[in-house]
Structure 1
Amino acid sequence: MSWNRFLRLSVLSWLPFALALPKGNATPAFPVPPSAVVHPTSLPHIPFSGLPSTTGAITAPSVGSGVTPSMGVAPTATTYPSDGRLHAPQPGPYIPGGGAGTSGQIPVYRPQSDFDFESLALALYQEYIELDLFHDGLARFSEADFTAAGLTAEDRFLIEFMADQEVGHATMLTNILGPFAPKQCIYDYPYTTVQEFIDFCQKLTRFGESGVYGFLAHLDSRESATLLLQSITTEARQQMVFRQFEGLFPMPVWFEVGVPQSWAWTLLAPYISSCPPDQTRLVWQNFPGLSIINQPNPVRINAQSAQGEILGSGTNTLNSSSVPASDLCYNSDEVGVSCKPAITRNRTQPLSYAGRLVQLSWDPPGSPVGPNNSYVTSTMAGAPKFVAWVSQLNVTYSPLIISGNGRQGTTTQPDMSTYEGDPAINGTMFIAITDSDLYLTPFNLSLINPHVVAGPALYQAG
């Protein structure tokens, strides 16, 4: 590739490659690395106490009535023979016909629609909180605190390196979005111990990763999707590392789940205290919070016996302070019981099981949430009837038994598999209260949003 062509590519794409162009026959100098986003590391971590200057998600001048879920199958979706033979002319040797973005045009790395901008902006909000979060845990807890939790200086350095990765991710998305990209905000976290910090990181990276999987294949900008894929696979590694730090089995599923943008925003927004006055706002919905009263607590020897050991709704982060020392699995060295940090752990007593009674409570709509309390939780659903279990390739439903004030209930953990030998309800997964048991698959899961009463919540199934 010539230097002029390389320069033209970077101009078209907004990605600021700095080049030293050759003069005459002189050997070109190496390109200067692009600058990274500036990220303060001494921000306060306090709740918002002022009044919002605006409220609600952004909206367009015209808003339709919604997407109809029964449009049928596209006429050409089932016509390709899929028999292993070539059915179209080849554009060149060793190149089959078809594909998207394969015509030889110069790629342009920028949003091509409102859907693109809003999705990529949400991803940037996520990268910024992870950047701050990893730094905060390292600053908040002492070396002795980490050592007591079984984490070494090398483990702490890995967390620091993951924060550095977020600098790169935030820089990349900022360059794609351009001058109106969201900025770093002020955050407020629920954890007070190293174990709670690690669990919060494990859960936050879970919905950060899954939130991107949910929209990646729908982006109009295939070029931007390619770059985002290369960052989100890094985040998948981060999530697994935090599971290992937590003494969990590192990857208990065959497939990683994707969720809609509004699910990710619902889980993320409560931890954003305030943002700069000119911050770019988002279109996504905030659903009412959902709490799992008997959320399995991974630091308990008998995790499934936990009752009320969570730090708020949504992520349902574990509370380690309320567990007696004799019940803490990281105080044990017994194989099958210990949950000390390790490459892998295989606990004799599972965190959850099919047939387990799960106790739930949820908030009414209308609560202020998110940056500057400027968003409001809402629902378009009818009466609560089901619990949706979203994991791997499956969306399944279990009946909801209402109790108490009408915002409490129980359900039974389903017994289902993606394929034989792979229990679908496993790992850190998503549940939500819905008004119907709409049939959906990973590609059209966002059609569930009008039916969500509350949630999602992260369920620590394994």
Structure 2
Amino acid sequence: MPRYKNPILSPSFRQLFAPNHHNVTSHGPYDGPSPTTTGAISTSVLNSSVPALPPAPDAYEYPADGALHGNQPAPFTPSGGIGTNGSAPVYRVQSDFDYQSLALGLYQEFIELDLFHWGLTRFSNDEFDAAGVTAEDRFLMQHMADQEIGHATLLSNMLGPQAPRQCTYDYPVSSAGVYGFLPHLNSGPAAQLLLQSITVEARQQMAFRQMGGQFPMPEWHTVGIPQSWAWTLLAPYVASCPANQTRLIWQNFPALRVLNQPNPARVNGEEAWNETTGGYANTLSTKGIPEEELCVNSDEVGENCRAAVARNRSIPLSFPGRRVFLQWDEPGKPVGPNNSYVTSTEVKQPRFAAWVSQLNVTYTELRNVSAENRSGYTLQPGAYTWQGNRAVNGTMFLALTDQDLYVTPYNLTQLNPHVAALAVYQAG
């Protein structure tokens, strides 16, 4: 009979650790004592930022002509590649960068595990049914929660005994970052296993868009963001964590609020004004919207947004040239587990809005800026990734910056020293 092996249980891992996952019984904001430790962990900081350098001298030497340019290490095997010399893979972190990146990923897995369970208990079957989310759909959500147990176990094993543990959470509801750092991990084996987890979560996101009556994947490429961006957007949901919880190094940027965040729950989503909840989270809300303006109540083709494999909604959620009104926090606010992290930025006054989507970073001018109110507006750009595919589409990221720095998906982290505030923008 064939023998099946689990890589995280193999001798190459050496140290087995099972995460302490459980059903969180309490939710809500942190209301405990002031933290005794605040801010991200740090050692000696060598520079204010990582300097921008040209490509490596040999970056363009390979001729890329389809011919073979080296001896083959084995039959049907080309020369080159990383981790291809036959050495046994070791599925554990290999650097501070690896550890802090995977620790952030574990925070994400734990909150996803809890969110699925919380959502299933927070809303009644009647409420789910009214939105077109059937009992079979709810069974899928339970299956997704079980998947997160496996993802959390995987990361906990690769991190070891000091891996972060499950926390308690606060969701701004009254009625997802790994792609960005995978290529930079020192541990290729760890990146491989993490990739096999995050691709499942991409499918989960697609299923949730379908449950919300949205087109499952309107964009042609999935954007990846730096770790500090992911931690900024995740940390405010984390209310409190166990004592001696492993702390993270990543920065928490000030919150950016999109005052007219498009609302996919509306027949005409771009007509929204102050309809999100959770402040920084810019989370969809249906509170106060007349019944006839909710797309879930429409029977018109092109307007109806009840759960479906796909909906071709004829009214765009947003569009090029749309005025997007913004307001942002000052730095220095407590956030995250036990209010023990502090938002920060080196930017004195933002000048641009950076639209980070697919393969593009597109800048637009920040207009009518009020330093006193920390507010302004910008125009949604009409740039294209490819002909026929607008760059601004789907769930994407919006950052305010003091420079229109040229960056690409692989070095987006270079933008961090210039970020004043950060938000999610729902473009389609």
**Same fold, TM exceeding 0.5?**
yes
**Is 2:298 aligned against 1:315?**
no
**Is 2:109 aligned against 1:122?**
no
> Please, which of 390, 409, 413 is the counterpart of residue 442 of structure 1?
409
Secondary structure of the residue that 2:361 maps to in structure 1?
strand
Task: Specify the alignment match of 2:228 in structure 1.
Answer: 262
Task: Specify the alignment match of 1:148 in structure 2.
Answer: 130
Relative to 1, partners in 2 of residues 1:248 and 1:65: Cα closer, same or farther, differing over 3 Å?
Answer: same
The CA distance in 2 between the partners of 1:92 and 1:119, in whole Å, is 35
Task: Specify the alignment match of 1:113 in structure 2.
Answer: 95
Give a deviation string over 1:101-148, Cα, whole Å, max 9, x none: 111111101110000000000000000000000000001111111111
Task: Specify the alignment match of 1:177 in structure 2.
Answer: 159
> One-letter code of the match for 1:449?
N
Give a deviation string over 1:42-80, Cα, whole Å, max 9, x none: 4200211121121000001x1111444431111011100
Task: Specify the alignment match of 1:19 in structure 2.
Answer: none
Identity %: 59
Give a deviation string over 1:429-453, Cα, whole Å, max 9, x none: 0001100000000000001000001
Q: Is the 8 A contact 1:13 1:108 kept in 2?
A: yes
Give a deviation string over 1:342-399, Cα, whole Å, max 9, x none: 1001111000000100000000000000000000000012321000000000001000
The CA distance in 2 between the partners of 1:126 and 1:46, in whole Å, is 18
Q: Is the 8 A contact 1:390 1:396 kept in 2?
A: yes
**Is 2:365 aligned against 1:382?**
no
Task: Specify the alignment match of 2:297 in structure 1.
Answer: 331
The CA distance in 2 between the partners of 1:70 and 1:267, in whole Å, is 26
Relative to 1, partners in 2 of residues 1:283 and 1:338: Cα closer, same or farther, differing over 3 Å?
Answer: same
Q: Is the 8 A contact 2:267 2:293 kept in 1?
A: yes
Q: Is the 8 A contact 1:36 1:167 kept in 2?
A: no
Relative to 1, partners in 2 of residues 1:277 and 1:68: Cα closer, same or farther, differing over 3 Å?
Answer: closer
Gaps of 5+ in 2: none
Secondary structure of the residue that 1:12 maps to in structure 2?
coil
The CA distance in 1 between the partners of 2:302 and 2:344, in whole Å, is 43
Give a deviation string over 1:157-201, Cα, whole Å, max 9, x none: 0010000000000000000000000000000111123xxxxxxxx
Task: Specify the alignment match of 2:11 in structure 1.
Answer: 11
Alignment map for 1:222-371 (pairs within 5 Å):
222-371=188-337
Relative to 1, partners in 2 of residues 1:143 and 1:9: Cα closer, same or farther, differing over 3 Å?
Answer: closer
The CA distance in 2 between the partners of 1:74 and 1:278, in whole Å, is 42
The CA distance in 2 between the partners of 1:188 and 1:40, in whole Å, is 16
> One-letter code of the match for 1:289?
A
Task: Specify the alignment match of 1:76 in structure 2.
Answer: 58
Secondary structure of the residue that 1:228 maps to in structure 2?
helix
Relative to 1, partners in 2 of residues 1:263 and 1:7: Cα closer, same or farther, differing over 3 Å?
Answer: closer
Deviates more, 1:315-324 or 1:426-435: 315-324
**Is 2:392 aligned against 1:409?**
no
The CA distance in 1 between the partners of 2:8 and 2:287, in whole Å, is 57
**Is 2:181 aligned against 1:215?**
yes
1:15, distance to aligned residue in structure 2 (A): 6.5
The CA distance in 2 between the partners of 1:6 and 1:119, in whole Å, is 22
> One-letter code of the match for 1:436?
Q
Relative to 1, partners in 2 of residues 1:15 and 1:165: Cα closer, same or farther, differing over 3 Å?
Answer: farther
1:7, distance to aligned residue in structure 2 (A): 10
Q: Is the 8 A contact 1:14 1:176 kept in 2?
A: no
Q: Is the 8 A contact 2:8 2:154 kept in 1?
A: no
Relative to 1, partners in 2 of residues 1:93 and 1:301: Cα closer, same or farther, differing over 3 Å?
Answer: same
Secondary structure of the residue that 2:280 maps to in structure 1?
coil
> Please, which of 116, 131, 138 is the counterpart of residue 134 of structure 1?
116
> Please, which of 139, 142, 146 is the counterpart of residue 157 of structure 1?
139
The CA distance in 1 between the partners of 2:272 and 2:404, in whole Å, is 29
**Is 2:375 aligned against 1:431?**
no
1:401, distance to aligned residue in structure 2 (A): 1.0
The CA distance in 1 between the partners of 2:27 and 2:171, in whole Å, is 7
Q: TM-score, normalised by structure 1?
A: 0.89
Deviates more, 1:400-409 or 1:327-336: 400-409
> Please, which of 98, 111, 122 is the counterpart of residue 80 of structure 2?
98
Runs of 4+ in 1 over 3 A off after TM superposition: 5-9, 35-38, 66-69
> One-letter code of the match for 1:357?
R
Q: Is the 8 A contact 1:253 1:392 kept in 2?
A: yes
The CA distance in 1 between the partners of 2:9 and 2:140, in whole Å, is 34
The CA distance in 2 between the partners of 1:7 and 1:448, in whole Å, is 36
The CA distance in 2 between the partners of 1:244 and 1:46, in whole Å, is 28
RMSD (Å) for aligned C-alpha atoms: 1.9
The CA distance in 2 between the partners of 1:102 and 1:302, in whole Å, is 53
Q: TM-score, normalised by structure 2?
A: 0.96
**Is 2:26 aligned against 1:44?**
yes
The CA distance in 1 between the partners of 2:259 and 2:307, in whole Å, is 26
Q: Is the 8 A contact 2:263 2:272 kept in 1?
A: yes
1:41, distance to aligned residue in structure 2 (A): 1.5
Q: Is the 8 A contact 2:7 2:91 kept in 1?
A: no
Task: Specify the alignment match of 1:201 in structure 2.
Answer: none
The CA distance in 1 between the partners of 2:280 and 2:221, in whole Å, is 22
Q: Is the 8 A contact 2:13 2:91 kept in 1?
A: yes
> Please, which of 407, 420, 425 is the counterpart of residue 453 of structure 1?
420
The CA distance in 2 between the partners of 1:273 and 1:184, in whole Å, is 11
Relative to 1, partners in 2 of residues 1:298 and 1:9: Cα closer, same or farther, differing over 3 Å?
Answer: closer
Relative to 1, partners in 2 of residues 1:129 and 1:267: Cα closer, same or farther, differing over 3 Å?
Answer: same
Give a deviation string over 1:408-444, Cα, whole Å, max 9, x none: 0000000111111111100000001100000000000
Q: Is the 8 A contact 1:14 1:110 kept in 2?
A: no
Q: Is the 8 A contact 1:390 1:430 kept in 2?
A: yes
